[in-house]
Amino acid sequence: MGTATRALAIAAAAIVVLAASPALAESCTGITQGGGRFATCFDLGNRLSVTAGTLGFGGGFALRHIVRFDDAPDLAWKLEHVMLEASYAGFEDRFTGVLYRGRFLRHSRDGHLVLPFGNPPRKIFLPFDIGALAEVGSISWRPDSNVRLGLVKTAALLDFARSRGFRRRFALGPVARWDVDVPRDRLAIAQHIVAPFSALLANLRFETANGVTAGELRVEAGSVYRSGVGWQPEALAEATLERIVLAVNDRPISLVLGVRYDSAAAETTAGIGARIVLVGRRDPRVSLATLAAARSF
Amino acid sequence: MTESLRPAALCIALVAIGLATPGSSFGDPGGLLPAMDHERPVQCARDKDGKVWRIQCNEATKVCLYAANEELDSTGERGKSLERARSCDIQDEFDRAKLEATGYRMFPGRVDAPFGWMRDERGRVFQVNFDLRKRLYFGVAYTPQKILDNPLESTRTSVDFGLFSFQHLVEGETPTRHRLRILEGVVHVEPFSAEVTVAHYDVSRRFLDPLLRITTFVGRPQRHDLKLNLGLWSEVGGLEIHPTPVGHSTLWKHATAQITLDLWQSKNLDSFARFRTGMGLEGQYSDDIGYRSALTAASALEVDMVLDDEGFHNLRFELAHEMPRYFTPLQNHQNFAQRLRAKLQYEAIVLAINDQPLTLKLAAGGEKRDDIFGVPDQWAFVMDAGLRFSLWAPPRAR
């Protein structure tokens, strides 16, 4: 417990320090002495990637996009989707995967609360964006454990970072989830685990302006109901740090560090690995057009 | 400091634009300045200080409303640009004197807002009309449960969720409304039970031509049209988990398809009363018996209504009967079982956070079934009171 707390504290401190670093102002296109161009900024949210490391081999598909409105320039929906993300540790019997995870944040410059009583309705201003987390179909197991099926998980999010993009997030909110434990040797339900918004989620994320470094800290703590057992306290904390160290044909390869604490399993795991982007969206700030045009002559 | 624009600040603004301070009041009963009509043209004019004003004149009443082209802060100073405002061309030659000479009177007003939105006196816009048929929602409820033979049954909490609800109306001579819901359900604790549907789709249609024309020849010949507004209702991936004396009974409703007959439809089909009937394939698993499949005949009377134009009050009622026919007999050596269910739900918007509604849900229901071994074959009643938070919920179609 002490080791886990220390590791998470170090990770959190690293995220805070990096998040406070000034935004980079240089161009997103590097130029070699010979005139060749290469990307120095990367889009971390739109990619198909594989990751290999001490915690196993896996991959996932991520998409993110912003929906804006012509008639409401101060309003934007920030939508992030993760699909078919999985990781399997071949050297020990450990697997984690999720079918779909979405995070939907509604950013508005003037957050407000409307009380529809009286005429006119009353409007009170709020200093945060709101949104939701939705996760469907997660699966995990670890050595000598049941299979944990996460049927549905959802959270209301209050994002105090109020970022217009995806670079910063400081979201808090109550979490509801329904998990099922299934024995590995037969098709039956060993236990239902339900948190009816009885847990709190805190999620801190940063991403440098060029997308080279990103970090995320997620903490969930509260009470969960276990069928046949009753209410129990539970806590989960996870911190990850990703740093792009090189790029091949402008496809980034990053170093990934992670640490995770799970009170229900009474275990802390830490890992290091490399993430390779197989298919990714080129950052729109990167311009390789001049070189392409020159080659056409 | 108040949220609304102070009269003094307004007077300063009037002087700046060169308009006279209004000599008489002109407002709506709610105390707000009158709003411009979103359906009528608006023009913009620049004052001596270069500030832009929106002006809308009504030829019939000879009244012109004017308002700042930016949002105002609490002191009346102009700030950010207006949201959800129409674009307007700025006319540098706005001749107020000429207008007044022709009998027009100038009054301060509010800039118009699109349908479903309103604007306060500072020009800030917010949503006041919500379509709860289009949303992602999740909620928590308190469910005191009362079973007739055990009035002291434990109290429970529950969560409900709908990850994607969407409806689309295809207008025309035969309007058709498609309804889609993905991963909707409710989970109770103490004791645990759950009901989830992975995907739901149904479609309602209002037919132009009657299915039957009956002509009577008693007296003067008369024609009587019998319109049957038929539709389709389907669900896949239903799951029900209920506690039993020896564990849990899990009911998988693999697929259900039904024909619907709308007994009543609102004009845009978003409210209805209908009867539906059809068949489904299901399987039930319990620890003591194992898995058994069934073909299920199902029928229901359904009412789904939006009670007001703004979408604040919503009512749902369902009375359903299901009769599974198991391929292997039950404990009572019968192949048939009966399930009866009634549920009434009222949902009302109590406030909106960043234009996303928070609703109060009140529900009451009863259930009687004999398909779960060990559970008494008698009516059990339950009540719900809870809150739901919805994302998206755009304004309803006009």
Q: What is the mean pLDDT of residues B283-297?
A: 88
Question: What is B199-235 written as a DSSP string?
Answer: EEEEEEE--SS-SEEEEE-SSS-EEEEE--EEEEEEE
Cβ-nearest to B124 among A110, A113, A134? A110
For B84-139, the pLDDT digits (tens) are 999 888 887 778 888 889 999 999 999 999 999 999 888 988 899 999 999 999 99
Q: Is residue A26 part of a domain?
A: no
Note the pLDDT of residue A23. Answer: 41
Cβ-nearest to A154 among B81, B138, B356? B138
Chain A residues near residue B189 by CB distance under 8 angstroms: 194, 196, 225
Note the pLDDT of residue B178. Answer: 98
Q: Is residue A102 part of a domain?
A: yes
Report the residue of B33, B119, B159 to disrupt the A interface, i.e. the one with the largest count of A CBs within 10 Å. B159
The rounded distance, in Å, linking the Cα atoms of A119 and B14 is 26
- Say if residues B164 and B198 touch (Cβ distance below 8 Å): no
Could you give the angle at the alpha carbon of B348 between the alpha carbons of B345 and B351, nearest 5°? Answer: 150
Q: Is residue A232 part of a domain?
A: yes
For B148-192, the pLDDT digits (tens) are 444 444 457 889 999 999 999 999 999 999 999 999 999 988 778
Q: Is residue A296 part of a domain?
A: no
For B291-338, the pLDDT digits (tens) are 899 999 999 999 999 999 999 999 999 999 999 999 988 777 788 999
- Say if residues B359 and B349 touch (Cβ distance below 8 Å): yes
- Say if residues B202 and B237 touch (Cβ distance below 8 Å): no
Chain B residues near residue A131 by CB distance under 8 angstroms: 391
**For chain A, where are the alpha helices, taking DSSP H only?**
2-19, 289-295
pLDDT at B248 over 90: no
CB atoms within 10 A of CB B268: 16
Q: Is residue A23 part of a domain?
A: no
Look at A156 and B138 and tell me if their CB atoms are within 8 Å: yes
Q: What is the mean pLDDT of residues B254-274?
A: 96
Q: Is residue A28 part of a domain?
A: no
Q: Containing domain of residue A113, as a range?
A: 2-18+34-280
CB atoms within 10 A of CB B116: 19
DSSP strands (E only) in A37-165: 37-39, 47-53, 56-69, 72-89, 94-108, 112-115, 122-125, 129-141, 147-159
pTM: 0.84
Note the pLDDT of residue B47. Answer: 85
Look at B196 and A188 and tell me if their CB atoms are within 8 Å: no
Q: Percent of chain B scored above 70 by pLDDT?
A: 89
For B204-213, the pLDDT digits (tens) are 999 988 888 8
In total, how many domains does chain A have?
1
Note the pLDDT of residue A10. Answer: 59
Note the pLDDT of residue B286. Answer: 83
The rounded distance, in Å, linking the Cα atoms of A203 and A198 is 17
Residues 6+ apart with CB under 8 A from B308: none
pLDDT at B8 over 50: no
Pairing of strands B78-81, A251-262: unpaired
Q: Is residue A293 part of a domain?
A: no
Look at B189 and A109 and tell me if their CB atoms are within 8 Å: no
The rounded distance, in Å, linking the Cα atoms of B16 and B47 is 7
Chain A residues near residue B187 by CB distance under 8 angstroms: 178, 194, 196
What does the mean pLDDT of chain B come to?
87
Residue segments in chain A with a per-residue pLDDT below the cut of 70: 1-26, 116-121, 290-297
**For B208-338, where are the alpha helices, taking DSSP H only?**
none
Note the pLDDT of residue B334. Answer: 83
Q: Which two tokens stand for residue B266?
A: 């609102």
Q: How far is CA B359 from CA B308, B314, B349, in A?
A: 15, 10, 4
Q: Is residue A24 part of a domain?
A: no
Report which residue type is found at A6. R
Note the pLDDT of residue A120. Answer: 66
